[in-house]
Amino acid sequence: MLLAAGRGERMRPLTDQTPKPLLAVQGQPLLGWSLAQMAAGGIRRVVINTAWLGEQIEARFGAETPTAHGPLTVRYSHEQPPGAGFSALETAGGISRALPWLDAVFWVAAGDVFVPDFVFDAQALARFADSEHLAHVWLVPNPPHNPRGDFGLTAQGLATSRPAEGETGYTFSTIGLYRRELFDEPWFELAPGNPDGAKAALAPLLRLAMDAGRVSAQLYSGRWTDVGTPERLAELNR
């Protein structure tokens, strides 16, 4: 699943007429980089959630989009009814809405993060599927705009909801592997498929599972940019 439903407030005015995942980085839409990397990892089916200007994303990539590694079949989980004011379901709410289209174990990544070296490794998915963890997340060194980080990381490879006192925290890359079980009771209160369209953030859900020792993690040291401002986008294109 690729997350592409955000409004991109910090990117305005660039996102007033163009959804952030379609902004170009080095001649290609941000979302196109992620789709190509997923195809390179052997993924053949992708769900993209949309809200703000989502019709542009579907028009750009269609039901099947070609990549250098073969075509991808794409489904769209539209969170904003046509003609309605902007309304996205946040990350966990959006994943829950798309859950009927997702496998028992699945990847999730943000469509507005530039991480051109990441490998969506089938072996990583297989290892996770054989584990008892509910999620496996990739963490990155803290960028200047998030100096305290989001989560901790133990020597045993478990993510913690907060760094231990005196230890370094890390920033969530937005890339992770998930088990459908995490988005059902007792962990998650929304019904699968989120039929009521409720909003729900992902971080509290991950922290709940982390506190139970059910989230593994690893540090990713490749190129990674949260393209959250026009200045970061311009820097990438330089």
Q: Give pLDDT tens digits for 167-181.
A: 889 999 999 999 999
Token pair recorded at residue 205:
């859900």
Give strand ranges (E) for the chain.
Answer: 2-4, 24-25, 28-29, 45-50, 64-65, 72-78, 105-110, 113-114, 135-140, 152-153, 159-160, 171-179, 215-219, 225-226
Residue 83 confidence (pLDDT) above 60: no
Closest CA to 150 of 95, 89, 202: 202
Per-residue pLDDT at 79: 86
* Count of structural domains, the chain: 1
Q: What is the mean pLDDT of residues 122-149?
A: 94
Identify whether the C-beta of residue 74 lies closer than 8 Å to the C-beta of residue 48: yes
Residue 54 confidence (pLDDT) above 90: no
Q: What is the mean pLDDT of residues 65-80?
A: 89
- For 59-65, which contacts have Cβ atoms below 8 Å and span 24 or more sequence positions? 60/22, 60/29, 60/31, 61/31, 61/32, 61/35, 65/35
Q: Which domain holds residue 15?
A: 2-237
- For 108-122, write each residue's pLDDT tens digit: 999 889 999 999 999
pLDDT band at residue 82, thresholds of 50, 70 and 90?
low
49: domain CATH number? 3.90.550.10
Identify whether the C-beta of residue 31 lies closer than 8 Å to the C-beta of residue 57: yes
Give the pTM: 0.92
- For 201-220, write each residue's pLDDT tens digit: 999 999 999 999 999 999 99
